Structure 1
Amino acid sequence: MPKDVRALVMAAGMTGTGVFHLVRPQAYDWMIPPELGPARPWVLGSGVAELVTAGLLAAPATRRAGGWAAVGLLLGVLPAHAQTLRVFRHRPGKLAVAAARIPFQVPMLQAALRVARAR
């Protein structure tokens, strides 16, 4: 996939999830590990971070910075994935779905790294 297309696809995805974080934060609140404190600031902050990252990815002049921001965001959501595993540990069907989502982080991280390292 050409690097511009990769970056724009990532920007579109992050725009959608960023908007959803801000419009329906309650859909994400339960994913925040309680050890991090109140969930809502984390959810809203991540939505803003996704929108900023999407903007960086969309503009050619800031695309590399957007790639690195995307890497940071994708690594930053790992505690939320761990929390979903903890919440669903006694519900095998939901646990399987939660666990199946985690490997998808790898190709997204690889794509973000490709954008970040592009010249």
Structure 2
Amino acid sequence: MAPAPPLTRDVAGLATILATSGVIHLVRPEVYEGMVPHVLPRKRLLVHASGVLEIACAAGLLVPSTRKAAGWASAALLVGVFPANVQMSVDHGKRAARRGDTGSRATFAATVARLPLQWPLIRTALRATGR
């Protein structure tokens, strides 16, 4: 059996991000329900499920024997929730266009700027696989 990939600072950081986000998904699901793409039903259930998955991935990244599998699962999860991030940007863009105020435009700009940040997280998850 190959040795576990090392727990690097970036992988530990990803675990922290996933754990924190996962807890918020469970404690304050309404924060995330608006991000769920409109075509998907049962938004609360999806938010809770993604929170549980984030916590499981975070825990798996910290345990040497599960780090590789958790890295793959984390990468898949981050790709899977990307449409929610896009939905959030689309919704804020519509709100900014409707309202036209500086705050709405700034929030929209922040959500768009956040989108490319998903890729370094995915790369970190893949590094946890030992690749």
2: distance between equivalents of 1:106 and 1:99? 13
User: How far does residue 68 in structure 1 lie from its aligned partner after superposition?
Assistant: 0.3
**Residue 32 of structure 1 aligns to a residue in which SS?**
coil
2: distance between equivalents of 1:15 and 1:81? 18
Count of residues in Structure 1 that have an aligned counterpart in Structure 2: 117
- Which TM-score applies when normalising by structure 2? 0.83
Give ranges in structure 2 of 5+ residues lacking alignment.
97-104
Give ranges in structure 1 of 5+ residues lacking alignment.
none
- 2:109 pairs with 1:106: no
- 2:14 pairs with 1:10: yes
Question: Runs in 1 of length 4+ with deviation above 3 angstroms?
Answer: none
Greater helix percent: which structure?
1
Asked if the contact 1:57–1:64 (Cα under 8 Å) also holds between the matched residues in 2, the reply is yes
Partner of 2:102: none
RMSD: 1.5
Partner of 2:82: 78
Partner of 2:70: 66
- 2:106 pairs with 1:93: yes
- Which TM-score applies when normalising by structure 1? 0.91
Partner of 1:19: 23
Write out per-residue CA displacement over residues 71-90 of structure 1, whole angstroms, 9 at most, x where no aligned residue.
01110111101211221123
Identity of aligned residues (%): 38
1: distance between equivalents of 2:20 and 2:108? 25
